[in-house]
């Protein structure tokens, strides 16, 4: 009997041990409001649900150098914990997953916030002997799962967001089934219901962030994700890099903090994402309302001179400023590239004074991170004991050149001295606005930097931009031209696209950027649609081009309005830029939202903005033939049964709408409706 009891006792102990082992290997479940997190404590896999929707499935964090990578599943001794947490984004819970890989300590943190439809996550790797990494993916899902359940049959899409706006790059919507890659942020959405998931990086201090995914629209339950990476360490032709991402080094290395959220309208999700970025990197203090003005590159370009700039100032003062082309009583007259050939040094103060006499502010142009001169061995950088070749960004020893200019190291003392002297000169002349161009050159990865503490392109870019801001002393409006999208805390405004000119193709190009990048004015105070050029195209194209600017942001003209400028063009400028209704949009409205997406890399043809009292709708026709456009009012959040009164702002014609807007639009033209609510 004793033997039997011992045997039964051994069986019972084995069962108890087996149960204990199974308990240890089971998922740890953490719930907070609508969020549910499942963490597998034997592999480190993380699944994230919002309500019944799976947002991330079986993610296993990955880190490493180049292609030498490790996954959380290769670690040991997993431990989880939860605690109350508060930070700049709000309060809620912090869930931590800790593990060890050899001498490295690994921690993935997940932040849940009260009342938020998004969470944050980040990965940190530390070691007493130091860490050097150039790839960190807090989210790495190798398994297929349904991301967007079927709600409509309109189709699922992912969003391509470029790293910068150089080389006439376009945003793009990719139908599920195509490989998807984006930079900084992306959205996966249902084009019918607008429901979507937004994910990206809210920190841009050290890393360039990428999102890679494979997708399928043929899942049994909806739109499927076959694989997903949300990572710091992007470096390729789209980021303009000729080298792998630089290594982030230290006793402890952290990935960028990532946000993941699900929204009933992906457009709201993109705006919420912008707000999160601005929370981490707040925009510069405001310096007045949205700039109205003129920029010399549109028509005068390389032929800008002091005399012509003065004449344009007078033309705008005499013909436009008293007829609603102004904001808070101010118009900017901005001298673009080649001012150093068209102005003598003593003429800058005279020009600024002339602008002030006309109730205007003067602006100027500069490229802090480029060398256009060539022959770097022979030329000295200002008053420093360095030649230009000493300050070049290099890839495998060779100077990096793009757009015809050499990229230069933002951390180099000669480059910093150059920034200091040039901005000091601008301030002494009296300029209050500066357009900074080719800024992305300062964010190219280099073999090394003068500052040994800097190892990545984004570290160098942030250091250079911070120095520029400090030298401006809060006295200049900073407008970025070609520049990375992120971060947004070094400028008041940023151009949303690359260069744009007069015809309808250029308008559509700008509106491609507005279709998918309107939300950037949640990061910067204003977007910028580039100079508005009239000369050489039809009246309809003029109306479309100026409307594209008014609904985007910074509102600058670009034609030659000097005494020798084309009289017919100047007459059209006066006729169009004194339209009080269009100017009111430019003065008071943020960037318009797209009503619908466009296929591939095209621009949407309908945009809107709603206030408490009215709703504005801009409808474009890019075709060489007239077109009839239809827009259901429900898509704008209006009642299908109520009748609404409207006025078309270009023609002044009144209209009544019930159920839908039906508009006949001429060839390469636009209609803008102001609907009373």
Q: What CATH number is attached to the domain comprising 606? A: 2.60.40.1180
CA atoms of 170 and 639, how far apart (whole Å): 35
Determine what percent of the chain is predicted with pLDDT higher than 70.
96
Are 44 and 181 members of one domain?
Answer: yes
Least confident window among 26-35, 240-249, 496-505? 26-35
Helix (H, G, I), strand (E, B) or coil at 308: helix
- Is residue 1 scored above 70 in pLDDT? no
Q: Which residue has the higher pLDDT, 25 or 659?
A: 659
Flag whether 54 is in a domain: yes
Q: What CATH number is attached to the domain comprising 460? A: 3.20.20.70
- Is residue 182 scored above 60 in pLDDT? yes
Report how many domains make up the chain: 3
CA atoms of 49 and 56, how far apart (whole Å): 7
pLDDT in tens, 598-619: 889 999 999 999 999 999 999 9
Flag whether 152 is in a domain: yes
> Which run of H or E residues covers position 436?
strand 433-436
How confident is the model at residue 9, as a pLDDT? 40
User: Are 492 and 282 spatial neighbours (Cβ–Cβ below 8 Å)?
Assistant: no
Are 491 and 623 members of one domain?
Answer: no
Side-chain half-sphere of 348: how many Cα atoms within 13 Å? 18
Are 469 and 602 members of one domain?
Answer: no
How confident is the model at residue 219, as a pLDDT? 80
- The last residue of a domain, from among 280, 312, 327: 280
- Please write down the HEC assignment for all residues of 47-91: EEEECCEEEEEEECCEEEECCEEEEHHHCEEEEEEEEEEEECCEE
pLDDT in tens, 81-100: 999 999 999 999 999 999 99
Determine what percent of the chain is predicted with pLDDT higher than 90.
92
How confident is the model at residue 180, as a pLDDT? 83
Nearest to 423 by CA among 376, 381, 462, 368: 368
pLDDT in tens, 6-53: 433 443 333 333 333 333 445 899 999 999 999 999 999 999 999 999
Are 53 and 183 members of one domain?
Answer: yes
For the whole model, what pTM was predicted? Answer: 0.94
Flag whether 530 is in a domain: no
- Residue 340 makes CB contacts below 8 A (sequence gap 6+) with none
Helix (H, G, I), strand (E, B) or coil at 34: coil
Backbone angles phi, psi at 94, to 5 degrees: -115, 120
Count the neighbouring beta carbons within 10 Å of the beta carbon of residue 236.
15
pLDDT, mean over the chain: 94
How confident is the model at residue 18, as a pLDDT? 34
Domain containing residue 187 = 34-280
Q: What CATH number is attached to the domain comprising 138? A: 2.70.98.10
Q: Long-range contact list for 391-394, CB < 8 A, 24+ apart?
A: 391/415, 391/450, 393/441, 393/444, 393/445, 393/446, 394/446, 394/447, 394/448
- The last residue of a domain, from among 425, 460, 495: 495
Backbone angles phi, psi at 328, to 5 degrees: 55, 35
Count the neighbouring beta carbons within 10 Å of the beta carbon of residue 592.
25
How confident is the model at residue 26, as a pLDDT? 58
Helices (H), 282-337: 306-319
Mean pLDDT of the region 514-518: 98
Are 241 and 373 members of one domain?
Answer: no
Mean pLDDT of the region 636-641: 96
How confident is the model at residue 608, as a pLDDT? 98
The DSSP call for residue 521 is: G
Flag whether 148 is in a domain: yes
Are 125 and 247 members of one domain?
Answer: yes
Are 399 and 274 members of one domain?
Answer: no
Are 276 and 392 members of one domain?
Answer: no
The DSSP call for residue 323 is: G
- The last residue of a domain, from among 495, 518, 546: 495
The model's confidence at residue 5, banded by pLDDT at 50, 70 and 90, is very low
Nearest to 290 by CA among 261, 259, 330: 330
- Is residue 141 scored above 90 in pLDDT? yes
Flag whether 569 is in a domain: no
Flag whether 314 is in a domain: no
Mean pLDDT of the region 228-245: 98
- Is residue 416 scored above 50 in pLDDT? yes
Flag whether 507 is in a domain: no
Flag whether 476 is in a domain: yes
How confident is the model at residue 515, as a pLDDT? 98
């Amino acid at each position: 009997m004793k033997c039997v009891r011992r045997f039964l006792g051994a069986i019972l102990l084995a069962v108890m041990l087996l149960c204990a082992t199974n308990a240890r290997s089971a998922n740890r479940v953490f719930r907070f409001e609508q969020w549910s997190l499942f963490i597998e404590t034997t592999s480190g896999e993380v699944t994230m649900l919002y309500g019944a929707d799976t947002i991330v499935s079986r993610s296993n964090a990955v880190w490493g150098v180049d292609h030498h990578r490790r996954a959380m599943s290769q670690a040991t001794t997993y431990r989880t914990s939860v605690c109350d947490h508060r930070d700049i984004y709000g309060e809620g819970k912090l869930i931590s997953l800790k593990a060890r890989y050899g001498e490295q300590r690994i921690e993935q943190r997940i932040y849940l916030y009260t009342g938020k439809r998004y969470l944050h996550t980040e990965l940190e790797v530390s070691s007493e002997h130091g860490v050097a990494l150039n790839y960190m993916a807090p989210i790495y899902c190798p398994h297929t799962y349904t991301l967007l359940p079927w709600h409509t049959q309109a189709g699922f899409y992912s969003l391509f967001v470029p790293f910068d706006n150089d080389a006439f790059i376009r945003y793009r919507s990719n139908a599920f089934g195509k490989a998807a890659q984006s930079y900084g942020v992306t959205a996966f959405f249902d084009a019918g219901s607008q429901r979507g998931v937004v994910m990206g990086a809210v920190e841009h201090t050290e890393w360039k962030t990428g999102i890679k995914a494979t997708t399928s629209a043929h899942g049994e339950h909806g739109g499927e994700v076959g694989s997903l990476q949300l990572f710091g360490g992007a470096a390729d032709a789209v980021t303009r890099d000729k080298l792998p991402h630089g290594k982030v080094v230290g006793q402890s290395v952290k990935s960028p903090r990532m946000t993941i959220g699900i929204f009933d309208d992906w457009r709201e999700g993109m705006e919420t994402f912008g707000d999160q970025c601005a929370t981490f990197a707040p925009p510069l203090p405001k310096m007045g309302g949205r700039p109205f003005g003129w920029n010399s590159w549109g028509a005068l370009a390389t032929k800008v001179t002091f005399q012509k700039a003065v004449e344009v100032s007078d033309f705008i003062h005499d013909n436009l400023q008293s007829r609603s082309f102004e904001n808070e009583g101010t118009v900017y007259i901005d001298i673009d590239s080649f001012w150093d050939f068209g102005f003598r040094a003593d003429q800058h103060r005279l020009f600024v004074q002339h602008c002030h006499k006309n109730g205007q502010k003067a602006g100027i142009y500069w490229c802090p991170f480029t060398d256009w001169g060539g022959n770097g061995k022979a030329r000295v950088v200002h008053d420093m004991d360095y030649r230009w070749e000493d300050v070049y960004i290099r890839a495998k020893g060779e100077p990096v050149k793009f757009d015809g200019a050499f990229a230069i190291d933002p951390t180099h003392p000669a480059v910093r001295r150059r920034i200091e002297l040039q901005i000091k000169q601008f301030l002494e002349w009296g300029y209050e606005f500066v357009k900074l161009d080719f800024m992305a050159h300062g964010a190219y990865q280099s073999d090394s930097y003068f500052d040994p503490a800097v190892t990545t392109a984004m570290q160098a870019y942030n250091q250079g931009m911070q120095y520029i801001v400090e030298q401006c002393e809060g006295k200049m409006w900073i407008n970025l031209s070609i520049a990375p999208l992120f971060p947004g805390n070094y400028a008041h405004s940023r151009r949303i696209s690359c260069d744009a000119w007069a015809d309808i193709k250029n308008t559509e190009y700008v509106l491609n950027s507005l279709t998918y990048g309107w939300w950037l004015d949640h990061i910067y105070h204003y977007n910028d649609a580039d100079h508005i050029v009239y000369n050489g195209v039809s009246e309809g194209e003029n109306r479309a081009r100026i409307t594209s600017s008014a609904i985007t942001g910074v509102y600058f003209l670009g034609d030659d309005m000097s005494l020798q400028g084309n009289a017919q063009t100047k007459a059209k400028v006066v006729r169009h830029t004194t339209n009080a209704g269009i100017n009111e949009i430019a003065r008071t409205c943020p960037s318009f939202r797209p009503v619908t997406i466009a296929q591939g890399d095209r621009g949407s043809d309908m945009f809107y903005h709603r206030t408490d009292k009215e709703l504005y709708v801009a409808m474009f026709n890019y075709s060489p033939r007239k077109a009839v456009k239809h827009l259901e009012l429900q898509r704008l959040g209006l009642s299908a049964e109520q009748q609404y009164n409207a006025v078309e702002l270009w023609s002044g014609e009144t209209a009544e709408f019930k159920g839908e807007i039906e508009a006949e639009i001429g060839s390469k033209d636009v209609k803008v409706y102001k609907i009373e609510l």
